[in-house]
Structure formats: structure tokens, C-alpha cells
């Protein structure tokens, strides 16, 4: 049975609050249920004398407790209780003093409304169905992940995952265009010779570009071209359209998801082609790794840029750009995002993959071997569930395909290939070039294991009833085997110490930063780092 939209959002909200130890929930323990309360439950006293509580179970290896669906109740002990209306009210109860509480509550209400529109797809597992499944847990454990802020339910129904989207077009004067290293995209659209045609999302053509580029429309630097020429099917990321034949078109989108704007600034596109070059160099030097993973090509792009590049580190140019992504040939295997396996669909579309335990073992082994394989070279792709595509044959992972290369991280002292030479904003914070191997390994632990594979673990626990230690033991064995195969003694010892011996791991905090600062004005998701017990030390 598919859980309700409210339940799906409550899961991520409560589990994030416990994992990040907000409102003291990290130390809360299960208590027997008094009359009228769900049980076993977590109960939290409120300043006004009431209590709020919800049904829960032991949290496994990463946190103390986990919400197990069912009503969240509030009231004075010994008096009649009422059910909390939803995630938005629960935020008001748990975090009344949080500076951005009202914004987060609004986004949670949007997440519920949008989850109701983007329900689970029907039909056999395919690339299209996989992209739609990935929306359900595109960013596991992020409470507002399902909210597309800036869209109502009508826009989501029109432009959401699986929908065909017609393309609109503008022309940008040639001296205001920056291009990628790859072949220039060729479009069959009428455009003045003085300008370069650029596809734009119809939502942005209507609501964003006339405001963001009003001066350029007025002086002819940007000109309106045809509308409704060409179309693609929206993928899980919404702003990326599948054009067919293994070709994707990635566009800016004037909405906010995960607390950040969906822009494509030219600096990020440049980072992506530099990151892609690093990944390809590693695979050229490591044939064993190259047999396990392929890399999408993202070097064909155009973006608005002022002559001289004075706006390289500004956000506004990110509203007008386009990337043509070319995926490697699939060889007949079903290709789905890793995030699709974290969807509540193991009794639906995912059932055809076969035995969940066997599927998870194959996927975990592939993700771990690829992640550690790159770490051996001082490199780490951003291996969360949206960026990692699984090529599955008979429910077994054959190969990974990596997409979205704008956050390929490196530790220079371990680099076995030429440095990417990222162009970083002077004085700005960045996480692409990391000073220590531990920091690089930490991103694999958080994004690859806790989020990427951890989201799948959460779905399998809820589907099978088998708790977290069973699944994390599979991850541990995969990590042990991959670390042991590492040739360099120094790298092997460092990996073992960070992943297997360390008492604690970094944990990507998302709810706390959102409550403190609200959504970002730029492209970086509000996030921080806290620490949790190393889950691999808790399992055999």
C-alpha cells in the first residue's frame, strides 16, 4: 500500500530532526504508549505543558529512533489528544523559535501538495518510470525535497516528471555567449546570424526571462524566437528533458528545490566539463574501474556571459544557458537512477527486479567499488541518487553511469591525473578542492553511502520489515572488500581508518540549516555537517 503524501513528508521531517538532534530529539528514547498515544512512541514535552508524540521504532545504526507512520498527536497528558494537521504544523510545534520556521512550514505544505500530484507511476520498470520513481526520494531524508517552490500543482502537472515539455527559444548576441569545449549544439531554429539560438523552458520564457533580462530584450542583446519548437520528456530533476536516443537537454528553471535555485551559471558548466575531464582521465588510466562505470558527456553547452567575463561569478547569467548531455550506449540494460530504488515501490514497479536482498547486494557492491575506485585516484564524483544511473540486467547492476559533473571533488595530493584547474570565486567558500583525504572520503560516506545507499536501505526496511543492520552489513562487506583491493598501502590504510575504524562519520545536516537561514538565494543547497556514530562499526 502506497503511503499518503503527508506520511512521506513526515518520515523525512521526523527522521531528519532525530538524526540532526534538533529539539533534543537525538537523545529521545522510545517509551511505552499511555492511553490514547501511539506506541511505542517518541514523546517530546512542549513549553506550554503539552506533549507531541508519534509512533516510532529503534533507529538502527544511524540514529536513535525512526518514525513508523501513523498519527502525530499533541495534547496535555491525561486529556483528549488531537492529531497534528501535517508537517507544517509540526514544525511550528517543534521549532517555534527557528528564524526561518514560517518559510520551512510553507515549503513542507508545498511538498505534501506536490507529492499528491507526483504519485507513483504505473507500469513496468523503464527509464521513464525510473525517473518518475526517483522523484519520490530524489534526495532521501530531505523534508522539503518534494516541494518545487515557485510552481503550483497546475505547473507540476503540466511540466513534472514524465510530462512532454515543448521548447521555447531566444537568440543571444554572439559576443554575449560562452561555449563549452564540446561540439556546439545545432538547432533547427530560425535565428539572426548575429545571434545564437538558445532553448529555454516555457515556464522561464513566460515568467523569468522577461524580468531577469529586461535590459537585454530592450537593446536587442537577447531576442525572442519561436515557441513550441521541439520537445522533451521531463526527468526527475524537472529541468532536464529527455530528447530520446540517449540525449538530454538541461535548462535553468526559475524554481527552488532543496532550498536552492535551479540555475545554470557558466562557472558551473565550466566546472562540469573540467570535472568530466578528470573522471575520463581516471578511467583511461584504470581499465578495471572503466569496466564498472561510464561518464556522460556534458561539454556541449552555451550560456549567457558579458564580454570580458565580468559576470562569471554572478547568479543572473545562470537563468539563460543550455547543456546537451549525451549518455553512453546502454547495451540493452534497463537504466534507472539509484534514487528510484529508494522509492516506496518495491511492491510495484521495482518488484520485477527480483529478490530485494540480491538486488541490493549487487547495487551496493557496484556503488562502493566505483566510489572507492575513484577515491584511490584522489577524485570523487557526487554520487547521490539522482546523479548515479544504474544499468540493471536481471535485477543485477551491470554498470554505473555518472551524470552532472559540476561537483567532482579532488584531493590534490592523491590526484593521479592532471588537476582540473577549477575557477573558484575569490574569497568564496568551496568544497571542490579538499585539503585532506579525510574530507574527500567524508563526502563519499555522506552522499554515496548515507544518502545514496541509505535511501535504498530505508525503503527496503519499510518493505521487508528487516531492520537496518542487515542491510548495512552488506555495505560493510562491500567496503571491506574494496578497501582490501587498494594497492597503495597509504591510501588503503587511510580508507580503512576513515570508513571502518573511525568511531564517527560526518552527516549531512539539511533541516537545521534550513530552519536557521531559509532557502539559499544561489545554487548551493543549505547544508551543514554534524556527526553520527559510524554505522559500519555497528554491524558485523
Per the listing, cell 517552490 goes with 149
pLDDT at 45 over 90: yes
**C-beta separation of 400 from 370 below 8 A:** yes
pLDDT at 330 over 90: no
As a three-state string, the secondary structure of 213-273 is: CHHHHHHCCEEEEEEEEEEEEECCCCCEEEEECCEEEECCEEEEECCEEECCCHHHHHHHH
292-326: per-residue pLDDT in tens? 999 999 999 999 999 987 777 788 999 999 999 99
The pLDDT, as a whole number, for residue 138 is 60
The pLDDT, as a whole number, for residue 397 is 78
Q: Residue 465: exposed, middle, or buried by beta-carbon count in 10 A (0-12, 13-18, 19+)?
A: exposed
The pLDDT, as a whole number, for residue 59 is 86
C-alpha 70/C-alpha 72 separation (Å) is 7
**C-beta separation of 513 from 16 below 8 A:** no
φ, ψ (nearest 5 deg) of residue 177: -120, 135
Q: 60-71 burial by CB neighbour count: b if 16+ within 10 A, else e?
A: bbbbbbbbbbeb
**C-beta separation of 312 from 267 below 8 A:** yes
C-alpha 369/C-alpha 482 separation (Å) is 6
**C-beta separation of 283 from 293 below 8 A:** yes
417-465: per-residue pLDDT in tens? 999 999 887 766 788 999 999 999 999 999 999 999 999 999 999 999 9
pLDDT at 36 over 70: no
- Of 141-145, 148-152, 278-282, the least confident: 141-145
**What are the domain boundaries of the chain?**
5-97, 151-304, 332-537
Per the listing, cell 531566444 goes with 170
Instruction: Give the confidence band of 38 by pLDDT, cuts at 50, 70, 90.
Output: low
This prediction has a pTM of 0.94
pLDDT at 84 over 70: yes
Q: What is the mean pLDDT of the chain?
A: 92
Q: What number does CATH give the domain 332-537?
A: 1.10.510.40
Amino acid at each position: 500500500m502506497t503511503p499518503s503524501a503527508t506520511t512521506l513528508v513526515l518520515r523525512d521531517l521526523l527522521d531528519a530532526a532525530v538524526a540532526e538532534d534538533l529539539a533534543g530529539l537525538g537523545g529521545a528514547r522510545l517509551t511505552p504508549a499511555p492511553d490514547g498515544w501511539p506506541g511505542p512512541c517518541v514523546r517530546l514535552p512542549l513549553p506550554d505543558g503539552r506533549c507531541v508524540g508519534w509512533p516510532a521504532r529503534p533507529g538502527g545504526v544511524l540514529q536513535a529512533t525512526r518514525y513508523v507512520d501513523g498519527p502525530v498527536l499533541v495534547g496535555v497528558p491525561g486529556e483528549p489528544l488531537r492529531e497534528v494537521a501535517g508537517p507544517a504544523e509540526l514544525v511550528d510545534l517543534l521549532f517555534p523559535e527557528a528564524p526561518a520556521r514560517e518559510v520551512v512550514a510553507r515549503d513542507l505544505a508545498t511538498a505534501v501538495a506536490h507529492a499528491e500530484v507526483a504519485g507513483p507511476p504505473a507500469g513496468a520498470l523503464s527509464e521513464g518510470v525510473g525517473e518518475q520513481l526517483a522523484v519520490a526520494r530524489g534526495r532521501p531524508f530531505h523534508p522539503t525535497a518534494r516541494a518545487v517552490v515557485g510552481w503550483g500543482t497546475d505547473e507540476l502537472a503540466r511540466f513534472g516528471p514524465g510530462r512532454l515539455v515543448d521548447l521555447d527559444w531566444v537568440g543571444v548576441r554572439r559576443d554575449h555567449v560562452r561555449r563549452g569545449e564540446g561540439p556546439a549544439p545545432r538547432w533547427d531554429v530560425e535565428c539572426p546570424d548575429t545571434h545564437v539560438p538558445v532553448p529555454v523552458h516555457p515556464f522561464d520564457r513566460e515568467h523569468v526571462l522577461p524580468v531577469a533580462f529586461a535590459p537585454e530584450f530592450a537593446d536587442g542583446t537577447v531576442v525572442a524566437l519561436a515557441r513550441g519548437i521541439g520537445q522533451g520528456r521531463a526527468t526527475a530533476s524537472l529541468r532536464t528533458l529527455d530528447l530520446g536516443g540517449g540525449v538530454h537537454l538541461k535548462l535553468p528553471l526559475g524554481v527552488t528545490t532543496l532550498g536552492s535555485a535551479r540555475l545554470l551559471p557558466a562557472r558551473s558548466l565550466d566546472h562540469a566539463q573540467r570535472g568530466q575531464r578528470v573522471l575520463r582521465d581516471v578511467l583511461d588510466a584504470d581499465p578495471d574501474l572503466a569496466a564498472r562505470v561510464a561518464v556522460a558527456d556534458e561539454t556541449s553547452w552555451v550560456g549567457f556571459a558579458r564580454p570580458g567575463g565580468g559576470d562569471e561569478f554572478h547568479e543572473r547569467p545562470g537563468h539563460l544557458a543550455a547543456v546537451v548531455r549525451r549518455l553512453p550506449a546502454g547495451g540493452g540494460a534497463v537504466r534507472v537512477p539509484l534514487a528510484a530504488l529508494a522509492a516506496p515501490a518495491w511492491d510495484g514497479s521495482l518488484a520485477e527486479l527480483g529478490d530485494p536482498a540480491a538486488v541490493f547486494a549487487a547495487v551496493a557492491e557496484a556503488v562502493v567499488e566505483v566510489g572507492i575506485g575513484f577515491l584511490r585516484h584522489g577524485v570523487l564524483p557526487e554520487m547521490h541518487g539522482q546523479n548515479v544511473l544504474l544499468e540493471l540486467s536481471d535485477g543485477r547492476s551491470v554498470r554505473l553511469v555518472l551524470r552532472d559533473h559540476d561537483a567532482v571533488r579532488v584531493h590534490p595530493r592523491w590526484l593521479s591525473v592532471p588537476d582540473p584547474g577549477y575557477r573558484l570565486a575569490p574569497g568564496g567558500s568551496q568544497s571542490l578542492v579538499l585539503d585532506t583525504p579525510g574530507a574527500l572520503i567524508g563526502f563519499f560516506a555522506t552522499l554515496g553511502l548515507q544518502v545514496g545507499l541509505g535511501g535504498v536501505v530505508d525503503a527496503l526496511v519499510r518493505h521487508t520489515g528487516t531492520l537496518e543492520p542487515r542491510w548495512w552489513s552488506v555495505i560493510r562487506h562491500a567496503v571491506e572488500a574494496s578497501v582490501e583491493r587498494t594497492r597503495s598501502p597509504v591510501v588503503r590504510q587511510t580508507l580503512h581508518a576513515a570508513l571502518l575504524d573511525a568511531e564517527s562519520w560526518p552527516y549531512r545536516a539539511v533541516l537545521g540549516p534550513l530552519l536557521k537561514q531559509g532557502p539559499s538565494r544561489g545554487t548551493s543547497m543549505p547544508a551543514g555537517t554534524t556527526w553520527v556514530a559510524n554505522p559500519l562499526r555497528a554491524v558485523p
